[in-house]
């Protein structure tokens, strides 16, 4: 690690006031700290969001569920009353990671193989920051790239309640991140299918959504051709295999929901 300054503000306003160039927000540190230890990142200052109480907690409402950015994966796993979301959080990393890592950090990081982006996009969530509210469809831009501006702070993520939803993940055997993860949600506005792990960035599979909206069944998934074009091709899985997994996992998610 290179030398850096460390601040731990108690309120969001204090945090915003501290922000400057070459500074990084620190949440659970599960991505940021390893990167710094490997000397791949060199922030001059870390602003630790850990003491800001208002950023933490699960807030259920009739038609939605708001989760503070600093809520850990473990808390979401035990407290979120959207079962697919709780189950997704329970499948992230290991207990240490789940008790440190946060939803805000994961979403802001937008790792192509991370789990949360699939839920955020699949459930059509909204990301509230200190500056604005961003729709999931506009948030995930590209590999490790989001709509967040420099030093924009995620305050919470709000999930509309689906009629039903399921997340099925095929683990990378080594890292246990998603080789492919598919989040299927039945919502008032039709079925949404969000795919993580398979491409450079989480994406919605429109053909699967159309097929499932008109006929919510595994057979309906079979009618869709999932193209391998543009999918990731790496040491662990070819694009072709990932395309197969998208279909298989979508069918399994549909079956879990009861299609």
Partner 1 sequence: MGTQTGIGASVKRKEDKRFIIGKGRYLDDISRPGQTYGYFIRSPHAHAKITSLDSTAALKAPGVVAVLTGPDMQADGIGPLICGWGITSKDGTPHKAPAHPALAIGRVRYVGHQVALVVAETLQQARDAAELVEIEYEELDHVIEVGDALAAGAPQIHDDVPGNLSFDWELGDRAKTDGAISAAHHVTRMKLRNNRLIPNAMEPRAALGDYDSGTDEITLYTTSQNPHVHRLVLSAFNAVAPEHKLRVIAPDVGGGFGSKIFIYSEETVCAWATKKLNRPIKWTAERSESFLSDAHGRDHETFAEMAFDANGKILGLKVSTKANVGCYLSTFASAVPTYLYGTLLSGQYTIPAIYCEVQAGFTNTAPVDAYRGAGRPEATYVVERMIEIGAREMGIDPAEIRKRNFIAPDAYPYETPVIMTYDSGNYALAMDKALEAIDYSGFAARKAQSQTKGKLRGIGFSAFIEACGIAPSAAVGSLGAGVGLWESAQVRFNPTGSVTVFTGSHSHGQGHETTFAQIISDQLGVPIDQVEISHGDTGKVPFGMGTYGSRSLAVGGSAIMKAIDKIVEKSKKIAAHTLEASVEDIEHSGGVFKVAGTDKQMTMAEIAFSAYVPHNYPADVEPGMDETAFYDPLNFTFPAGTHIAEVEIDPDTGTTEILDWVAVDDFGNVINPMIVEGQVHGGIAQGIGQALLENCVYDKESGQLLTGSYMDYCMPRADDLPTFRVQTINTPCKTNPLGVKGCGEAGAISAPAALMNAITNALGKEIDMPATPEKVWRAAQGL
Ligand X SMILES: Cc1cc2nc3c(=O)[nH]c(=O)nc-3n(C[C@H](O)[C@H](O)[C@H](O)COP(=O)(O)OP(=O)(O)OC[C@H]3O[C@@H](n4cnc5c(N)ncnc54)[C@H](O)[C@@H]3O)c2cc1C
Segment interacting with partner 1, rule: CB under 8 A, options 17-25, 98-106, 200-208, 241-249: 241-249
Write the CA distances from 62 to 38, 81, 161, integer angstroms: 45, 11, 8
Of residues 84, 121, 245, 257, which one binds partner 1 by CB under 8 A? 245
Give the contact letters, 216-235, x = binds to partner 1 (CB under 8 A), - = no: -------------------x
53 touches 33 (CB < 8 A): no
Give the contact letters, 21-60, x = binds to ligand X (CB under 6 A), - = no: ---xxxxxxxxx----------------x-----------
Rounded to a whole number of angstroms, the minimum distance from the CB of residue 228 to partner 1 is: 12
The C-alpha atoms of residue 49 and residue 70 are separated, in whole angstroms, by 7
Cβ count near 216 (within 10 Å): 17
Q: Which two tokens stand for residue 236?
A: 């662990």
199 touches 231 (CB < 8 A): yes
Please report how many Cα atoms fall inside a 13 Å half-sphere around the Cα of residue 6, on the Cβ side: 9
Would you count residue 178 as binding partner 1 (CB under 8 A)?
Answer: no
Q: Which is nearer to ligand X, 100 or 205 (CB)?
A: 100
The C-alpha atoms of residue 180 and residue 16 are separated, in whole angstroms, by 36
Would you count residue 77 as binding partner 1 (CB under 8 A)?
Answer: no
Would you count residue 35 as binding partner 1 (CB under 8 A)?
Answer: no
Interacting residues with ligand X (CB under 6 A) = 24-32, 49, 69, 92-93, 97, 100-102, 104-106, 108-109, 111, 114-116, 148, 153-154, 176-177
């Amino acid at each position: 690690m290179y030398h850096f300054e460390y601040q731990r503000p108690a309120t969001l306003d204090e945090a915003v006031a501290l922000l400057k160039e070459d500074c990084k927000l620190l949440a659970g540190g599960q991505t940021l700290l390893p990167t710094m230890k490997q000397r791949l990142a060199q922030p001059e200052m870390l602003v630790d969001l850990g003491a800001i109480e208002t950023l933490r907690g699960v807030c259920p409402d009739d038609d939605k569920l708001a989760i503070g950015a600093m809520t850990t994966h473990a808390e979401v796993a035990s407290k979120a009353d959207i079962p697919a979301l709780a189950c997704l959080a329970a499948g992230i990393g290991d207990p240490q990671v789940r008790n440190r890592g946060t939803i805000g950090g994961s979403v802001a990081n937008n790792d192509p193989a991370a789990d949360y982006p699939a839920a955020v996009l699949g459930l059509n969530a909204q990301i509230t920051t200190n500056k604005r509210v961003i729709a999931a469809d506009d948030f995930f831009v590209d590999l490790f790239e989001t709509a967040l501006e420099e030093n924009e702070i995620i305050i919470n993520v709000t999930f509309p309640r689906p009629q039903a939803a399921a997340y099925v993940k095929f683990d990378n055997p080594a890292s246990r991140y998603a080789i492919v993860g598919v989040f299927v949600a039945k919502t008032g506005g039709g079925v949404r299918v969000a795919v993580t792990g398979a491409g450079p960035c989480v994406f919605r599979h429109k053909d699967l959504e159309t097929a499932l909206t008109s006929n919510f069944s595994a057979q309906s998934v079979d009618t869709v051709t999932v193209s391998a074009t543009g999918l990731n091709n790496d040491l662990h899985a070819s694009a072709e295999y990932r395309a197969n997994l998208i279909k298989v996992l979508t069918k399994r998610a549909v079956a879990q929901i009861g299609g």
